[in-house]
Amino acid sequence: MNLADLNVGTTLNIKLNFSVEKISEYLVATGDGSDMWIRESIVPPPLVGAGILAELMKQVKLPANLMHTGQEQTAYSTVPANSDLLASVTLTQYSQRRGAIIATFEANLVDVTQVLLFRAKFSGLVPLELS
């Protein structure tokens, strides 16, 4: 489906599980030298956000000229590696302003017991003259 096919309020469910190997790959790719993530089997918060975004892009075809304009993320607890997680991602804004479409997705990540671990908000802009 395309971004334009979604209505505001539409929620997509995304299953996630971050392996220790995936965390290691991520640490190398970001130059993060902290050994805490592997030692404690914790998913770095930006990887949680990136994982949600990557899975969202598999479900929703985002415009090629979409620019990621803002990001907010809040940790409520550590996100453990090798755990089944569920992100509920809701389109909370889709509006046209000043020659651009502005879209915002908000995500809540819970564990298998439904405990909230992490929240993220992704904002993007699509210039209309290029879309």
Are the CB atoms for 103 and 3 separated by under 8 Å?
A: yes
Q: Looking at 3-11, 35-43, 85-93, 95-103, which segment touches other proteins (CB under 8 A)?
A: 35-43
Are the CB atoms for 122 and 71 separated by under 8 Å?
A: yes
Separation between Cα atoms, residue 73 and residue 80, nearest integer Å: 17
String of contacts with other proteins for each residue 71-110, x by CB under 8 A: xxxxxxxxx-------------------------------
Task: Tell which positions 2-31 bind other proteins, by CB under 8 A.
Answer: 22, 25-26, 28-31
Residue with tokens 């819970």: 110
Tokens of 43: 């998913």
Residues in the site for other proteins, rule: CB under 8 A?
22, 25-26, 28-32, 34, 36, 40, 42, 44-47, 49-51, 53-55, 57-58, 64-65, 67-79, 127, 130
